[in-house]
Amino acid sequence: MSRARIFQWHKTFLDGREDVHDDQTSGRPKTTKTDENIKTVQKLVRSDRRLTIRMMAEMLSMNKESIRKILIEDLSMRKVCAKLVPKRLTNEQKQKRVDICTDLLDRTEQEANLLDSVITRDESWVFQYDRKVKDKASSGQR
């Protein structure tokens, strides 16, 4: 118990309090984590995945921590490169991504200038590494 809390209790006992138990509260504390708010946050995220938690909190007049908990705990989402995406991919989604990446790697080997014809809206760094080289580096071999 903090020193300030001890002084507060001391003062209340000097004023005539005899009960050492806490006063009754008016019930459960208010929360913004309701089914309606969860659905609202879900619609908002699906409309624009680039929204930040702060932006959503301002738009919905909610606490940032409540928005974060709704996204992580209720909607099973996490932030990846400024986009909110589902945490778990299905096996079919994983396989589709592998197939697309493999196809792109094959096409870049066949067409050297393929990436020069790709137009992107925003750029992201993507690194490719050889698993064997990485394993050797992590084990201390050269």
Number of domains in the chain: 1
pLDDT at 30: 66
70: nearest Cα among 30, 43, 104, 102: 43
- Domain membership of residue 129 (yes or no) is no
pLDDT at 127: 54
- Domain membership of residue 95 (yes or no) is yes
pLDDT at 138: 59
- Domain membership of residue 122 (yes or no) is no
* Dist. CA 64–CA 58, nearest whole Å: 8
- Domain membership of residue 60 (yes or no) is yes
pLDDT at 109: 87
- 127's tokens: 């690194």
- Domain membership of residue 59 (yes or no) is yes
Q: Which residues of the chain have pLDDT under 70?
A: 26-30, 80-87, 119-142
**136 Cβ contact list (under 8 Å, min separation 6):** 142
pLDDT at 22: 74
**70 Cβ contact list (under 8 Å, min separation 6):** 33, 37, 38, 41
- Domain membership of residue 138 (yes or no) is no
- Domain membership of residue 73 (yes or no) is yes
* H or E element in which residue 109 lies: helix 91-110
Q: Which domain holds residue 104?
A: 50-114
Residues 130, 131, 132, 135, CA torsion sign: positive
- Domain membership of residue 9 (yes or no) is no
pLDDT at 117: 75
pLDDT at 96: 92
